[in-house]
Homo-oligomer: A and B are copies of this chain.
Amino acid sequence: MCRMARPRKPLLSRERIVGAASALVDAEGLDAVSTRRLAGELGVSGPSLYNHFRNKEEILDAVADAVSAKVDLSMFEESDSRDWRTALHDWAVSYRAALTEHPHVVPVLARGPGRRPAALRVADAVFGAMVRAGWPPAQATRIGALMRYFVTGSALGSFARGFVDDERAYDPCRYPHLGQAHLLAERQEEIDEGAFDTGLRALLDGLAAQYEKVAVQASRTGAARRDGP
């Protein structure tokens, strides 16, 4: 008899919804999140969610932003002593760690920051720190972009997981070099991490070489150092 349509204290909140949605995504993947299923986990009926979010996409955006919020940005603070290269490295490692902890969220996150606050904070911090380090703004934009390409690409397309653990799938006549490919699945973590480390190092080495030419020159003219001491 106490089944009222509206309780005194709200049953739902944005936080509770995002929490349940995150748990569901992590446990069973994006496809497992339906408004009815999610509402069920929260002990509530489907349409109730629409009192707190405009639609399902907004819920998943919030889930993705919660992951972005876990990315360490301390290396980009002005008070931090790390140089731009080390900062970029440490950030990329932290970024990737956040994504690989929630692999099912990566497709949502990879679409770009959009209006998600935590993702925007990330973009802002990287860009600001690179400019402060002496990179011309156009280059700083590119660095933010290409680092995101690499990190999200590495988290989304786990290379090793992309192969099937089935020897017969890789006909040695058609794919003469893939004789060991079915073994990749087993050593997934090791291979993806090795590829990530190798690529990150190469990327930073290459950027450092470019920095010699373009950034030093820019700091000499002073054009890109309005905020430097």
Query: A: which residues have CB within 8 A of B?
Result: 107, 110-115, 117, 120-121, 123-125, 127-128, 131, 138-139, 141-146, 148-154, 156-164, 169-170, 174-178, 181, 184, 191-192, 194-196, 198-199, 201-207, 209-210
Contact = CB atoms under 8 A, between A and B. Distances in A.
A150 B153 CA distance: 6
A157 B146 contact: no
Nearest to A149: B153
Given A162-B113, A202-B210, A191 B145 contact: yes
Contact of A112 (B158, B170, B210): B158
B123 A195 contact: no
Given A146-B198, A151-B153, A177 B127 contact: yes
A148 to B, nearest CB: 6
A113 B111 CA distance: 21
Contact of A175 (B110, B121, B148, B153): B121
Contact of A177 (B112, B124, B148): B124
A195 B141 contact: yes
Contact of A195 (B120, B121, B146, B159): B146
Which of A174, A181, A202 counts the most B-chain CB atoms under 10 A from its CB? Answer: A202
16 contacts: A115-B169, A117-B174, A120-B170, A120-B178, A121-B175, A123-B178, A127-B178, A143-B198, A145-B154, A145-B199, A149-B149, A152-B156, A153-B153, A202-B202, A202-B207, A203-B203
Contact of A142 (B131, B151, B194): B194
Residue of A115, A142, A163 with most chain B CB atoms under a 10 A cut-off = A142
